[in-house]
Amino acid sequence: MPSYKFITNPEAVAFIEKVKSGEYFRIIKTEFLKVKWFFVGALILLTLLLAIVVGKRLSEKAGPSYIPPIIEVTVPTQETQKSSVFSALKRKIQEFSAQLPDPAIPELDNTLNLEQPI
């Protein structure tokens, strides 16, 4: 294999020297560190999209779920009616209206004078 010293292009020789010394990789590393959060964000976005696709496929694969019918059974209660001496009072309290009546309209007096008499 021929040595790179025989290459006549000086730009190629300079590039090979930068690669061998590690300077080229330092440049790439600093550029990568500037935009690393874009790569992290893209990776997170791709992970979420992949999770959504896998979840959708799994949910379609499961098939329809069976929901049993709701049967409402009402059982009449057999409670005896209890009476008390306070039943009438309880009924009056429950039927009491909490709304206040309209206030009485004051009489109109045209002879009112707010100025002080001299």
Q: Total structural domains in the chain?
A: 1
Q: What is the pLDDT of residue 1?
A: 44
Higher pLDDT, 109 or 44: 44
User: Tens of pLDDT along 74-103?
Assistant: 877 777 777 888 888 988 988 988 787 777
* Residue 108 forms part of a structural domain: no
Average pLDDT over residues 47-63: 88
Q: What is the pLDDT of residue 4?
A: 56
* Residue 82 forms part of a structural domain: no
* Residue 116 forms part of a structural domain: no
Residue 25 CB partners (closer than 8 Å, separation 6+): 19
* Residue 113 forms part of a structural domain: no
* Residue 19 forms part of a structural domain: yes
* Residue 90 forms part of a structural domain: no
The Cα 56–Cα 48 span in angstroms is 12
Residue 103's SS3 state is coil
* Residue 31 forms part of a structural domain: yes
The whole domain housing 40 covers 4-62
pLDDT bin (cut points 50, 70, 90) of residue 50 is very high
Burial pattern 65-74, b for ≥16 Cβ within 10 A else e, equals: eeeeeeeeee
* Residue 58 forms part of a structural domain: yes
Higher pLDDT, 7 or 10: 10
